[in-house]
Amino acid sequence: MSFHSPTRRGFLIGTGAVGLSSLWNTTAMASIDPNSFTDRVFHATHWGPLEAVVRDGKIVSVSPMIELDARPTEMLSLGVVDRVYSKTRIDYPMVRKSYLAGWESGDTKPALRGKEEYVRVDWDTAMNLFSKAILDTIDKGGNEAIFSSSYGGWSNAGTFRPNVMQGRFFNLIGGNSQTVGDWSAGAGQIVLPHVIGDMEVYSAQTAWEVIRDNTEVFLLVGADPIKNNRIEYRVADHGMYAHWEDIRDAGVKFISINPQRTASDEFLNADWIKIVPNTDTALFLAMAYHVMEKGLDDKDYMAKYTVGSDKWIAYVKGESDGVAKTPAWAAEITGMDEAQIKELAELLATSKAQIAGSWAIQRAQHGEMAYWAIANFAALCGKIGKPGEGIGYSWHYGNGGMPQGGNSTPAGLGQGRNPVKTICPASRITEMLENPGMAFKHNGHEYVYPDIKMIVNAGNNFMSHQQDTTRLVRALAKVDSVVSVDVWWTAATRWADIVLPASSTLERDDVTSGGTYSNDKVYAMKKVIEPLGEAKSDYEIFEAMADKMGVWAQFTDSLEYMDHVKAAYAKSSAAAETPFEEFWEKGYARMPVPDVARKWNRHGAFYDDPDGSPLHTVSGKIEMFCDTIAKLELEDCPGMPTWIEKHEYLRNAKEGQVHVVSPHPWFRIHSQMDQSENLQALYKVQGREPVRINAEDAAARGIADGDLVEIYNDRGACIAGAVLSDEIMPGVISIYEGAWPSVDSKGRCNSGLVNFVTSTQRSSGLSNATSANTCLASIKKCEDADGPNMAYEKPPILEEFAYAEVDEDKMGLDRIEGVAERLMADMTPDERLFYERCTVCHAPREPSHYTKLQWKGILPSMFERAGLEEAEMATVEAFLMERAADAH
């Protein structure tokens, strides 16, 4: 492998971590009793910062950092240690039995994924098979035949996340097909830039002081900030909780529109208004009708700040389609009382009102319409941009409402430029696998699904995320190789051919920040214990793969890992005040939040000066009717928010069917921590995921509290534990997403993974996003469960199994030479700035994925986090403007 820059043949995957100076082994001693046991190590997680107490090389407990996190959760105190030592850990490299037996002949029997035993192998064998699979795939279909399912990056809070390490490696050897958009807010992040010039779903919210001092009514539309702010993409500090209390106690009236009463409703003393799931659009249309009928609409505001209001108003009044969207019309659809709709409309129109739309309501068929209808209603009433009024679509995430620090955050190794441009919307993986070569549209642009032969998955549980799990399992049978890099035996590893054991974050060093919007802290994620079993960090795993492929120097920049950690910290604002050594010793560094941030009002600059601070829409204004979308001529996403009946919801349900909603869990991040026995004891019912059922619905079906129930439809079935309640409306059941699956003898999930019944129906042709909350199913008492839930047991493993040596000489690694040589040309300075500094969470990874205006909408927050100088910002902006979707 001497055809280009030197490799590191001395680096073998079995050699362990590189040598570190004594600095890395020091112990943070922040805020602990001086008389207490001293062997404590600072670390930070999605669930909060902590000090781990270590005895004899083992974590015995964790202590929350009260000065950094005033309201720690049970996930931190009970779950963190529990899952580190969980029996679900992957202890060493594994290969599916038939895949190992047939690696040379090609007879690997992919239909047996998820059914047969795994064989314990050494690291060299696993790496050789991984390398061969990559090169075989490139030979067969090019790099586009390799698909990365590692979207999102939620697997840990660090800067050196698994998906980043995977992306960096593959981009050095030719790239791969990848996802576009995401699971959280796939519909909203596409439609809102057209409507209001910003993604909105990942944008800062009005500062809480402005809400406290100005807002009179705060409307939660499916939003549950008290639950969802228990966790964070980076490190949770629960900083907004006390301020929600301040807002409540200041006399702000909270109203919650939701099929079920939530924790936030209880916490904020909210009035609960029941609504049929997926009908929010009809509600806001009807409220708009009533506002106009009462003469409460703000015509001057619309004339100054919006375009297209006349077309939308004509639709609302029924002038364009013959159907007036009256409160009586909406009452039939939403299940709400006509008088209640009128009362709510008048209250919002005549009060200083803030409307919070949740991500949940856009995870539905035509989910774009719900978000747009909220924006149009607020514009109709003249709300958007006024202090404490208007709309926000991220109040329930990232401590929305905390003032923005405006600080740059740590920036580690970038993924670099991906030469492969084929994409798949995050929720359409099954469709892609079933239909190679099929044309589809995304955000108005045409693409073709690649013909995937290999899936690589690092730190992501896509098998639990995707809808209609049984259909996905069938679709996987056409894929030659599935490789998963993970810490635990999740669903994504149980259907893999090659499984590589990654270390948990507590078994490696990293650096991160706190506060998605506040950006006011930087945290050291210090290595607490040595990796368990034969686990390696994701950096080490992909460093070793880069070594095999001859691109080690490019992957590492020929630097030791801790040099990268130090460099990442140096890019944060904290480095200007706190030297790295001091930061690392203490475990954290604070960054300032300017006083002016406490007066910041979302869309306030646009309201104050619409000509000087226009929105990043085509018109520069709020687009109540959008010509850009209308010209796409999409049947399921017209050019303005309209009511379109869902393919399945309560108004077209068969007898006995219920609407299934699947919100984010209370005790997990999606599927993370589902295996924690300590947490399971707090909420699981007979070892299964709980399902909330209205007491009347349960009685009609002979279901008692604590019974096992079967939820089923034509797509599949799952078994859950009944929790009876009067605080969920009849005809609706609620089961948290993210349970680990266990398939029983009848093909049902014996653990309660709701995606065995959810649909792969897209949101619309605009976004191709998930519609997980558009789901009908039947429910009955389960009398025939296949014994206990086995989701948290290891799959069958053969510790000793005779197989032919998988020798590196037989892998044909020299095949990479032709691929790698074409990629070694250095990126230009502008490319390097973008691909290594600016491709942050939730931002598009390719310039062509967004238009010029859409890029301009996201640049301010992207630049802030990247910490670029003014000249660097100008360079990146010019680079994007030259390569945006509408640049040519």
Rounded to a whole number, what is the distance in angstroms from the first to the last CA of the chain? 41
| 3-class secondary structure per residue, 315-343 | HHCCCCCCCCCCHHHHHHHHCCCHHHHHH
Task: Please state, in angstroms and rounded to a whole number, the distance separating the CA atoms of residues 704 and 723.
Answer: 8
The encoded tokens of residue 313 equal: 């108003």
Q: Is 24 a catalytic residue?
A: no
Catalytic pick among 118, 123, 154, 301? 154
Residues 6+ apart with CB under 8 A from 370: 280, 281, 284, 357, 361, 362, 364, 641
The strand order across the sheet containing 118-120 reads 146-148, 454-458, 481-486, 498-501, 94-96, 118-120, 797-798
CA neighbours within 13 Å on the CB side: how many for 320?
10
Positive or negative: CA dihedral 530, 535, 537, 539 = positive
C-alpha–C-alpha distance, residues 481 and 456, integer Å: 8
Residue 883 dihedral angles phi and psi, to the nearest 5°: -125, 5
> How many helices (H) and strands (E) in the chain?
32, 30
**Strand residues in 533-627 grouped as ranges (E):** 588-590, 622-623
- Contact (CB, 8 A) for 624 and 309: yes
Radius of gyration of the chain (CA): 27
Q: Residue 136 in contact with residue 483, Cβ under 8 Å?
A: no
Q: What is the DSSP letter of 739?
A: P
Q: Which residue has the tokens 């928010």?
A: 641
CA nearest neighbour of 629 among 320, 279, 285, 369: 369
- The two structure tokens encoding residue 626: 């959008």
Nearest to 54 by CA among 27, 19, 20: 27
Strands (E) in 560-715, as ranges, are: 588-590, 622-623, 658-661, 690-694, 708-713
User: Is 495 one of the catalytic residues?
Assistant: no
User: Of 151, 372, 740, 855, which residue is the catalytic one?
Assistant: 151
Q: Name the phi and psi angles at 847, rounded to 5.
A: -55, -35
- The two structure tokens encoding residue 272: 């609960």
Which sign, positive or negative, has the C-alpha torsion 733, 734, 738, 744?
A: negative
Closest CA to 722 of 742, 701, 737, 739: 701
CB 407 within 8 A of CB 572: yes
- Cα four-point dihedral sign 622, 625, 630, 634: positive
**Cβ 469 vs Cβ 161: under 8 Å:** no
Rounded Cα gap, residues 539 and 644, in angstroms = 47
Nearest to 715 by CA among 663, 790, 778: 778
The token pair at 658 is: 């219920």
- d(CA 712, CA 89) in angstroms, rounded, equals 31
What residues act catalytically? 151, 154
